[in-house]
Amino acid sequence: MATFIVRDLMTTNVKTLGRNDTLGVADDLMSSNDIRHAPVLDADGELCGILSQRDLFRGAFARALGYGGTAQKKLRDSLLVKEIMTTDVVTVRPQESLSTAARIMLEKKIGCLPVVDGGGRLIGILSESDFLKLAVDEELP
């Protein structure tokens, strides 16, 4: 059986956020694109964090408990991605095996791995959903 690598399965059309985007922008991006994770890039385009739907919930909506819809939106639009993003990002290289990537995700209990090239530039993302699609399709795209 062939050994598949991250490049074979990763998503290359990655939706990203900026450090200074508001949580409102983040929520809109994630909702409209039906994604649960968004890599965060700094002003130079370097990967500096990752934001998940869980982060959004913990960072904004948990603080807004008891607030009305208007107050929640105001709070969401006043908080920045950099205030709640995860900065200790675990990444993977495109030539890494899928089994290694899956093992990392299981051990670290994370839902995705940003894929970076040799220079550390973001070139894709590998998520739990990618593995589920593989299991359902039983073949690579």
The larger pLDDT score, comparing residue 67 to residue 43, is at 43
Kindly list the domain boundaries of the chain, sorted by start residue: 6-137
**Which CATH number is correct for 6-137, 3.40.50.1370, 3.10.180.10, 3.40.50.2000, 3.10.580.10?**
3.10.580.10
pLDDT at 141 over 80: no
pLDDT at 1 over 50: no
Burial of 34 (0-12, 13-18, 19+ CB in 10 A): exposed
Query: What's the DSSP call for residue 18?
Result: E
The shares of helix, strand and coil residues in the chain, as percent rounded to the nearest 5, are 40, 20, 35
**What phi, psi does 78 have (nearest 5°)?**
-100, -15
pLDDT reported for residue 66: 57
The larger pLDDT score, comparing residue 10 to residue 141, is at 10
Q: How many CB atoms lie within 10 A of CB 77?
A: 14
Instruction: List pLDDT tens digits, range 74-133.
Output: 777 778 999 999 999 999 999 999 999 999 999 999 999 999 998 889 999 999 988 888
pLDDT at 33 over 70: yes
